[in-house]
Chain A
Amino acid sequence: MWESCTDIACGNIFALLNEGPLTLTIFLHTVIVLPMFFIYFQEKKRVNEEAR
């Protein structure tokens, strides 16, 4: 599962995240998609208030 970095430069965050199983991609996708949950709930509140 965890494979140690074999690249030339290993001390940076992306090389570290690249050691785990898909952890680099999961990290990037999460950072991108996570704010959408916040937006969803905020909009939900607004839409419900407007519908009242």
Chain B
Amino acid sequence: MLTNAHLKYESQKLGMNYFRVAIVLFGAQLLLGLVAAIQFMYPGFLFEVLDFSVARMVHINALVVWMLYAMIGSVYYMIPDETGEEVVGAGLGKLAFWVLTAAVTVVVLVYIFIQIGSGTEATIWLINEGREYIEAPRWADIGIVVVVLIFYWNVFATFMKGKRTGIMTVMVADLFALAGLYLAGMFFTDNISMDQYWWWWVIHLWVEATWEVFVGALAAYGLIKILGAKREIVEMWLWIEVLMLFGSGILGLGHHYFWIGTPEYWWEIGALFSALEPVPLVAMFVHVLYDWGKEQGHMEANAAEGEKAHAVNNTPAMAWIATNAFGNFLGAGIWGFFHTLPQVNIYTHGTQFTAAHGHLAFFGAYATILIGMMYLGVQGASGIKKMTMTFKTKMALFLIIFGLLGMTVALTIAGYEQVLVERADLGGGWDAYFTAQNLPWMVQAMGWRLAMGVVTFLGFVYLLWDLLTIGKAQAKEA
């Protein structure tokens, strides 16, 4: 992970830099998540020192930022492979990387040590915006826009100069939408309904539309790179996925407009478009397994007698991409569909149910494939022809997946209890809320969530250890 020895292109070296920061932020996300989980059990823990609101803010911001880092890293890594060109502005890209990293560091330090400000515009500009997921203060917003413009120009100009593959075409179009949507979250209004309306444009149209298409493009690139899958087939699937993801995801935005002051017609739109959102996720799952089986079958058919055939040239990356294919369907598709209909959502909205879905979806749909991309990066940087899983790879996979599933199940049980007791029976409100929080089902579920969070963190330690050592170890063997 720390070497660039075998990378020819500046673009890929830059990509590795982004991966390195991403993995550090991933660790920070998990640590602050543990703090928040402990506070659910022991509310006195760090009370008025590092309150839940701060721990939770850093937890979800580190999540978003490490994923954006790993996404930018993945794009820089794939640019030379796809376009056949070196990135046009490597120097500028490097500068942007250091500026962004410095800004992120300052923002996180301000979050942790200054935390909140007085009720003035200055707080919004300098400390935090207090809007879930996009808390970054306005100065950082503007900085992010500038850095992303540099990144986008690099991608676009290199794309125009080199080969224009289908995967890159999707990537360039998708990144344009992804970057543009950030602007919808950069204004202040006194009207809380208006505030939430546009806030969802950023959050939903990122994670349920543009990020999903991004993952589709990454998976397509990964399948070609790891399995040697046929480009025509992969790219045709990619277009079908884009069609289905945007066809369902864009108006699926309606499922966030049930209860925020928006008109009743959003019930029907939100319900019936978002009900289709799992369909492309099934397609993506089938696609990955199909290509895997097909290429492996080809290999075996063409192998000489008694010779072992392996279509996969990077088993850790393939394992994480396969986890992504299923995790995306399970976490985003199934767990999302659970509570997407307004008849159910009126009770589940704003409960631990959402937290259960959030954990499994962000992990299944995004963390997995981005970890897979990091393994691809390590393989390239260490010059390994065929990378295979180590004991640490397997431990990381097992512990992280097991921990995440455990947290999700625990939060789902907590969610059920909260939905039935606080919402359906008692009808919400202060007393109803705390009654539900005190019941054994909630307390036990929160205990299991913490335990499974620790398991996940152990898995992360193995992952980090593996990423740091696998390259060197296997480069020597080869």
User: Is B42 close to A, CB under 8 A?
Assistant: no
- Of the stretches B5-13, B265-273, B309-317, B342-350, the one at the interface is B265-273
Question: Cβ of A32 and Cβ of B247 under 8 Å apart?
Answer: yes
- Contact: A7 with B263, CB < 8 Å? yes
CB distance from A50 to the nearest CB of B (A): 16
Give Cα A19 to B268, complex, Å. Answer: 11
Within 8 Å CB of A34, what residues of B? Answer: none
Q: Are A7 and B269 in contact (CB under 8 A)?
A: no
Chain A residues whose C-beta falls within 8 Å of the C-beta of B247 in the assembled complex: 32-33
A18 touches B272 (CB 8 A): no
- Kindly list chain A residues whose C-beta atoms are within 8 Å of the C-beta of B269: 24-25, 28
Set of chain B residues within 8 Å of A7, measured between Cβ atoms = 263-265
Size range of the interface on B?
under 10
Residue interface bits B261-292, CB-to-A below 8 A is 1, else 0: 00111001100110000000000000000000
Of the candidates B251, B264, B265, B273, the one having the most CB atoms from chain A within 10 angstroms of its own CB is: B265
B263 touches A15 (CB 8 A): yes
Of chain B, the residue at the smallest CB distance from A23 is: B268
Are A6 and B251 also in contact (CB < 8 A) when A25-B269, A25-B272, A28-B269 are? no
B111 → A minimal CB distance (Å):
39
| Given A28-B251, A32-B247, also A22-B268 (CB < 8 A) | yes
Cα distance, A9 to B263, chains bound together (Å):
8
Q: Name the contact of B265 in the complex, choosing from A24, A29, A32, A33 (C-beta under 8 A).
A: A24
The majority secondary structure among interface residues of chain A is: helix
Residues from chain B with Cβ under 8 Å of A32 in the complex:
247
Nearest to B264 among chain A residues (CB) is A7
Closest to A19 in B: B265
Q: Which residues of chain B are within 8 angstroms of A8 by Cβ–Cβ distance?
A: 263
- Minimum CB–CB distance from A43 to chain B (whole Å) comes to 13
* B242-257 residues at the A interface, CB under 8 angstroms: 247, 251
Chain A residues with CB under 8 Å of B251's CB are 28
Beta-carbon contact of B272 and A14 below 8 Å? no
Contacts of A33 on B, CB cut-off 8 Å? Answer: 247
Q: C-beta contact mask, A25-39 vs B, less than 8 Å → 1, else 0?
A: 100110011000000
Question: Bound state CA distance, A39 and B264, in angstroms?
Answer: 34
CB-defined contacts of B272 to chain A, threshold 8 Å: 22, 25, 29
In the bound complex, residues from chain B placing their C-beta under 8 Å from that of A15 are: 263-265
Query: Which residue of chain B lies nearest to A24 when distances are taken between CB atoms in the complex?
Result: B268
Expressed in whole angstroms, the minimum distance between the Cβ of A28 and any Cβ of chain B is 6
CA distance A41 to B449 in the complex (A): 54
| Assembled-state Cα–Cα distance A17/B263 (Å) | 13
Query: Out of B264, B268, B273, which one reaches A6, CB within 8 Å?
Result: B264
A18 to B270, CA, bound (A): 12
Q: Which residues of B contact A29 (CB under 8 A)?
A: 272
Contact B268 A25 (CB under 8 A): yes
Within the assembled complex, what's the spacing in Å between the Cα atoms of A9 and B265? 11
A18 to B265, CA, bound (A): 6
List of B residues within 8 angstroms of A9 by Cβ: 263
The CA-CA distance from A9 to B264 in the complex, in Å, is 10
Q: Which of B394-441 contact A (CB under 8 A)?
A: none
Q: What residues of B have a CB within 8 angstroms of the CB of A14 in the complex?
A: 263, 265
User: How far in angstroms is the closest Cβ of chain A from B158?
Assistant: 30
User: With A and B bound together, what is the CA distance between A9 and B262 in angstroms?
Assistant: 11
Closest chain A residue to B246, Cβ basis: A32
A33-B269 Cα distance, complex, nearest whole Å: 15
Across-interface contacts of A25 in B (CB, < 8 A):
268-269, 272-273
Complex CA–CA separation, A24 to B269 (angstroms): 7
Kindly report which residue of chain B lies nearest to residue A25, judged by CB atoms: B272
Distance of A13 from chain B, by nearest CB (Å): 10
Q: Tell me which residues across on chain A come within 8 A of B264, comparing CB atoms.
A: 6-7, 15, 18
Query: Which residues of chain B are within 8 angstroms of A17 by Cβ–Cβ distance?
Result: 265
A28 contact set on B, CB distance < 8 A: 251, 269, 273
Minimum Cβ distance to chain B for residue A30 (Å): 12
A6 to B263 CA separation, bound complex (whole angstroms): 10
Interface residues of A (CB under 8 A from B): 6-9, 14-15, 17-18, 22, 24-25, 28-29, 32-33
What would 22 A/B residue contacts be, using CB atoms closer than 8 Å?
A6-B264, A7-B264, A9-B263, A14-B263, A14-B265, A15-B263, A15-B264, A15-B265, A17-B265, A18-B264, A18-B265, A18-B268, A22-B268, A22-B272, A24-B268, A24-B269, A25-B268, A25-B272, A25-B273, A28-B251, A32-B247, A33-B247
- Can you list the 10 inter-chain pairs with the closest CB atoms, starting with the nearest? A25-B272, A18-B265, A7-B264, A14-B265, A24-B268, A25-B268, A7-B263, A15-B265, A24-B265, A18-B268
11 further contact pairs, Cβ within 8 A, besides A7-B264, A9-B263, A25-B269: A7-B263, A14-B263, A14-B265, A15-B263, A15-B264, A15-B265, A18-B264, A18-B268, A24-B265, A28-B251, A33-B247
